[in-house]
């Protein structure tokens, strides 16, 4: 298995390749070539660049360095296969042993070299108007992992152009959602320092999740070095007032469609800038109690979110009752009616007696978020009570908020439950104090009062 820039396009060789080999017209190679990129063409028509080209190993080895550079500059990934095995790419050195036995697949990527080298920089105002989603950046991290003789072996992490690798569809991750991910946020403080928040906690959770799925477990130095490389390779996207989100994945690879433990995996990190999440910390959002009885897990499993995502889409569009009221988020509960979490964040509330409460992880295996755990610590010993919270308590709650890496702390204005919209106090002093502490510390501004708690929560990357 060899990833690099050319790995796993997800498109396999046609059965009739050997009887219908392709040739590339000479005009294709000219520096002033009329050929141009179009949106996913099925084939080459006129001057459109073809989505896929197939060359014999012999013809490929005849290409000089100038033609190879031209292919990459135009955005083609290059994969090599044996003629009788169209699923497992081989190393290019192997082709030279018997080129007539191999086929080379050229697959047009989504972005050209020029596009990859031209950052799409958004202003903070533009980012604030965009949804929380991936924005093409300069670079991403890729590392291959393969199990041999019962042990995982690791290649070195590589910094590659963002968008240049497609991990394909014939994999354990795509077929059964076998994979673990982590979300981290990079911020700047008042001193202009660039830092990572609680990277050690994110590492521990990521490794715990990987071990639970029998995926590779990275050593901490490799993990932290990869995170730092992803950030420093995308510095141009970090501006005062915005933040950089890192999506870190360990995805099962391999060509089997049966349910089994993977023998290969891909570790990847992508980065993208964002501004406010769901309106930002000054907004007040409405959430709804969903009917999803999720089998919760303490890990950030890629396959965990499909059911709640479908319900949340209906909630966002006002299609869950409540006279068409639209909700920003949806809460889940277990079969006994105990509230677990929101779709991708944790739940904290003030009960009828004025106690700050949050669902206990002792009796339920839902995600114990890094921001949730930080909020509990900042509030002070015994200030936040971890206990079972039942759906039936919603009508009596005074206030509530959601916590998460991207969200930080979002204050709730109401909760929809049993076709009734229950209003909450959006100015509750306990919730606002919790929000203020978390936002300040997450922003790198640790007060003297919190030095003993949060003094080592930040890893400075750049001053």
Concatenate the DSSP letters of all residues of 248-259 into one string: EEEEE-SS--SS
Domain end (from 115, 144, 171)? 115
Q: How confident is the model at residue 408 (pLDDT cuts 50, 70, 90)?
A: very high
Q: Do both 263 and 356 map to the same domain?
A: no
Rg of the Cα trace of the chain? 25
Q: Do both 73 and 158 map to the same domain?
A: no
Q: Do both 106 and 135 map to the same domain?
A: no
Please report the pLDDT score of residue 18 as a whole number.
41
pTM for this prediction: 0.74
Q: Residue 54 domain-assigned?
A: yes
Please report the pLDDT score of residue 156 as a whole number.
75
Phi/psi at 63 (nearest 5 deg)?
-70, 135
Cβ atoms 190, 444 nearer than 8 A: yes
Q: Do both 253 and 290 map to the same domain?
A: no
- Domain of 162, CATH number, reads 3.30.470.10
Task: Report helix angle 429-442 to 370-379, nearest 10.
Answer: 120
Please report the pLDDT score of residue 290 as a whole number.
93
Q: Residue 460 domain-assigned?
A: no
Q: How confident is the model at residue 8 (pLDDT cuts 50, 70, 90)?
A: very low
Please report the pLDDT score of residue 394 as a whole number.
98
Domain that holds residue 129: 122-274
Contacts of 193 (CB under 8 A, 6+ apart): 444, 460, 461, 462, 463
Q: Would the pLDDT of 37 be above 60?
A: no
Percent of the chain with pLDDT over 70: 77
Q: Do both 423 and 290 map to the same domain?
A: yes
- Domain of 440, CATH number, reads 3.20.10.10
Q: How confident is the model at residue 138 (pLDDT cuts 50, 70, 90)?
A: confident
Residue range 156-178, pLDDT digits in tens: 777 776 766 656 555 666 667 78
Q: Residue 459 domain-assigned?
A: no
Q: Do both 234 and 132 map to the same domain?
A: yes
Q: Which H or E element spans position 60?
A: helix 57-61
Q: Do both 18 and 111 map to the same domain?
A: yes
Q: Do both 127 and 263 map to the same domain?
A: yes
DSSP SS3 for 451? helix
Average pLDDT for the chain: 80
Q: Residue 423 domain-assigned?
A: yes
Q: Residue 66 domain-assigned?
A: yes
Cβ atoms 17, 103 nearer than 8 A: yes
Q: Do both 134 and 263 map to the same domain?
A: yes
Tokens of 264: 């290969």
Classify residue 349 as left (phi > 0), alpha (psi -120 to 50) or beta.
Answer: beta
Across 70-130, the runs of DSSP E, i.e. the strands, are 76-82, 85-90, 102-108
CA distances from 364 to 182, 247, 297, 367 (A): 20, 26, 8, 9
Q: Do both 221 and 332 map to the same domain?
A: no
Cα angle value 199/294/411 (rounded, 5°): 60
Please report the pLDDT score of residue 15 as a whole number.
40
Please report the pLDDT score of residue 257 as a whole number.
62
- What is the number of domains present in the chain? 3
Q: Do both 386 and 416 map to the same domain?
A: yes
Tokens of 50: 């073809």
Tokens of 333: 């509960």
Q: Would the pLDDT of 279 be above 50?
A: yes
Q: Residue 433 domain-assigned?
A: yes
Residue range 191-201, pLDDT digits in tens: 778 889 999 99
Q: Do both 307 and 236 map to the same domain?
A: no
Cβ atoms 244, 230 nearer than 8 A: no
Residue range 71-95, pLDDT digits in tens: 766 667 677 777 776 555 565 667 7
Q: Residue 279 domain-assigned?
A: no
Q: How confident is the model at residue 35 (pLDDT cuts 50, 70, 90)?
A: low
Q: Residue 325 domain-assigned?
A: yes
């Amino acid at each position: 298995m060899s990833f690099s820039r050319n790995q796993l396009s997800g498109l396999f060789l046609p059965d009739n390749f050997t009887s219908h080999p392709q040739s590339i017209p000479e005009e294709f190679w000219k520096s002033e070539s009329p050929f141009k990129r179009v949106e996913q063409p099925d084939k080459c028509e006129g001057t459109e660049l073809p989505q896929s080209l197939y060359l014999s190993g012999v013809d490929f080895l005849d290409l000089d360095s100038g033609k190879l550079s031209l292919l990459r500059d135009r955005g083609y990934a290059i994969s090599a296969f044996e003629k009788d095995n169209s699923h497992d790419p081989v190393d290019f050195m192997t082709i030279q042993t018997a080129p007539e036995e191999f086929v080379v697949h050229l697959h047009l990527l989504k972005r050209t070299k020029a596009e990859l080298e031209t950052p799409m920089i958004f202003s903070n105002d533009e980012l604030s108007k965009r949804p929380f989603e991936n924005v093409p950046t300069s670079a991403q991290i890729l590392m291959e992992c393969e199990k041999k003789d019962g042990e995982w072996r690791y290649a070195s992490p590589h910094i590659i152009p963002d968008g240049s690798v497609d991990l394909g569809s014939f994999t354990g991750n795509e077929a059964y959602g076998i994979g673990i991910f982590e979300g981290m946020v990079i911020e700047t403080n008042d001193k202009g320092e660039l830092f990572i928040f609680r990277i050690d906690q994110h590492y521990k959770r990521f490794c715990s999740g990987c071990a639970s799925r029998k995926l590779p477990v990275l050593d901490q130095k490799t993990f932290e070095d990869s995170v730092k490389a992803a950030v420093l390779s995308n510095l141009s996207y970090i501006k005062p007032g915005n933040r950089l989100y890192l999506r870190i994945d360990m995805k099962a690879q391999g060509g089997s469609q049966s349910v089994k433990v993977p023998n290969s995996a891909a570790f990847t990190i992508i980065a993208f800038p964002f501004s406010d999440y769901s309106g930002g910390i000054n907004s007040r959002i409405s959430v709804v109690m969903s009917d999803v009885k999720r089998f919760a897990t303490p890990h950030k499993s890629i396959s965990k979110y499909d059911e709640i995502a479908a319900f949340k889409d209906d909630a966002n569009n006002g299609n869950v009752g409540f006279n068409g009221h639209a909700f920003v988020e949806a809460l889940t509960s277990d079969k006994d009616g105990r509230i677990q979490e929101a779709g991708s964040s944790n739940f904290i509330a003030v009960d009828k007696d004025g106690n700050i409460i949050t669902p206990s992880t002792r009796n339920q295996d839902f995600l114990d978020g890094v921001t949730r755990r930080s909020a509990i610590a900042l509030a002070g010993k015994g200030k936040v009570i971890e206990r079972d919270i039942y759906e039936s308590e919603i009508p009596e709650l005074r206030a509530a908020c959601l916590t998460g890496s991207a969200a930080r702390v979002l204050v709730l204005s109401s909760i929809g439950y049993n076709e009734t919209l229950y209003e909450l106090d959006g100015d509750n002093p306990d919730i606002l104090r919790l929000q203020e502490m978390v936002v300040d510390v997450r922003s790198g501004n640790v007060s003297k009062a919190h030095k003993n708690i949060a003094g080592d929560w930040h890893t400075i990357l750049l001053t």
